[in-house]
Amino acid sequence: MLRLKYACDCTVKTADKPAQPIEKSTASASLLAQVIVAKFADHQPLHRQEKIFERHGVEISRKTMGGWLPSVPELLDPLYQASKKVLFGQGDRTDDTGVKVLDPRLSFCADRPIWPYLGDADHPVWSMTIRRREGGMARRNFWKDIRDTCRRMPTRSTMHFSNPNAG
């Protein structure tokens, strides 16, 4: 990271280091975004990203990138919370879609629900949660911080429920 120094006859001042998403890390927000998008959207494992960076003359080990990943959910939580509020404000369109996932505690693939939440044309936001089969708990947990009533859009059955924390 480049930090400029300013000097005059009486003093030397160094520019402040910009705020970093991960404290005591050299990863900028744009580098983290690159690594996250490459890994989760473009399906590039960290060892491949390491080789790509090397071809460009940048040495970032997969161990270093892997160390950044546990901080990502906390960094993205404000965006996640904002998307929940937008989704909640315009109605709720969701579906319980089952997918097979590897579970290290089991000797077979377990069926887990993915709950995608989709906005409308005026609110092009989406979010999803994946949980163990908990009945309606995964759905209720998604809305637990919202302080209003959630009404599911009519499909095969209509469900009405409210947040128990609503005042």
pLDDT in tens, 24-76: 888 888 999 999 999 988 999 999 999 999 999 999 999 999 999 999 889 98
pLDDT, tens only, 6-17:
888 888 888 887
In a domain, 137, yes or no: yes
- CA–CA separation, 62 vs 48, rounded Å? 9
| Residues ≥6 apart with Cβ < 8 Å to 15 | 3, 4, 5, 6
Split into its structural domains, the chain has a count of 2
Same domain, 97 and 132: yes
Give the DSSP H/E element, type plus range, for residue 126.
Answer: strand 126-130
Q: Verify that 66 and 96 share a domain, yes or no.
A: no
What is the model's pLDDT at position 90?
A: 63
pLDDT interval class at 167 (50, 70, 90): very low
| 84-133 per-position pLDDT tens digit | 777 766 665 667 778 887 777 878 888 887 777 777 777 778 777 776 65
Residue 91: the pLDDT is 60
Q: Are residues 97 and 155 in the same domain?
A: yes
Query: What are the backbone dihedrals phi and psi of residue 164, each rounded to the nearest 5 degrees, phi first?
Result: -65, -20
Q: Is the dihedral of CA 127, 129, 134, 137 positive or negative?
A: negative
Residue 61 located in a structural domain: yes
pLDDT at 134: 56
Residue 11: inside a domain, yes or no?
A: no
Domain extent for 65: 25-79
